[in-house]
């Protein structure tokens, strides 16, 4: 039970920060939120393939009070021309892993069944 309580408290001190400029890096987030208290960690989330920022990140403050202070200080405030979204981070939802992609090779050359009928139908309007 203590583990669950500890996990809940750490989630309350972890903040979601959205609408970040794509040029923002971890250190920028850390420096910005240091004005609200002690920052335990700051991470800008990046696309796995391109390595480019996804425009949001997470900041973990050392206490719930500091997290609330950061929300008050930064939610809706302008940062490099963009109003920040700052709120308590929700736990990650379990997503089915792997798979994805879709599409792939089609033996009929990628054409839908019906051949040229679709083209003829469109031209008749």
Domains detected in the chain: 2-87 (3.30.70.330)
CA distance 21 to 24: 6
Q: Among 94, 97, 14, which Cα is nearest to 57's? A: 14
Q: Contact 15/60 with Cβ under 8 angstroms?
A: yes
First-residue to last-residue Cα distance in the chain: 68
Lowest mean pLDDT among 9-23, 49-63, 86-100, 111-125: 111-125
- Say what the pLDDT of residue 6 is: 43
| Cβ count within 10 A of residue 32 | 21
8-state DSSP, 124: T
Single pTM value for the model: 0.68
* pLDDT exceeds cutoff 60 at 44: yes
pLDDT, averaged across the chain = 82
Burial of 20 by CB count in 10 Å (0-12 exposed, 13-18 middle, 19+ buried)? buried
Residue 125 structure tokens: 């309007």
The sign of the dihedral angle between the CA atoms of 59, 33, 18, 50 is negative
pLDDT classification of 14: cutoffs 50, 70, 90: very high
- Say what the pLDDT of residue 38 is: 97
Interstrand relation of 14-18 and 39-46 (parallel, antiparallel or unpaired): unpaired
CA 76 and chain centroid, separation: 17
Q: Contact 50/80 with Cβ under 8 angstroms?
A: no
């Amino acid at each position: 039970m203590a583990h669950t309580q500890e996990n809940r408290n750490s989630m309350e001190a972890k903040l979601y920060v959205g609408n970040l400029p794509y040029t923002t890096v971890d250190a920028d987030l850390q420096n910005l939120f240091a004005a609200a208290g002690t920052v335990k960690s700051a991470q800008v989330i990046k696309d796995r393939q391109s390595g480019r920022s996804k425009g949001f990140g997470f900041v973990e403050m050392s206490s719930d009070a500091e997290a609330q202070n950061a929300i008050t200080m930064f939610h809706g405030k302008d940062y490099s021309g963009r109003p920040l979204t700052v709120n308590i981070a929700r736990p990650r939802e379990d997503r089915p892993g792997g798979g994805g992609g879709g599409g792939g090779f089609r033996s009929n050359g990628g054409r839908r069944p019906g051949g040229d009928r679709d083209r003829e139908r469109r031209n008749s309007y």
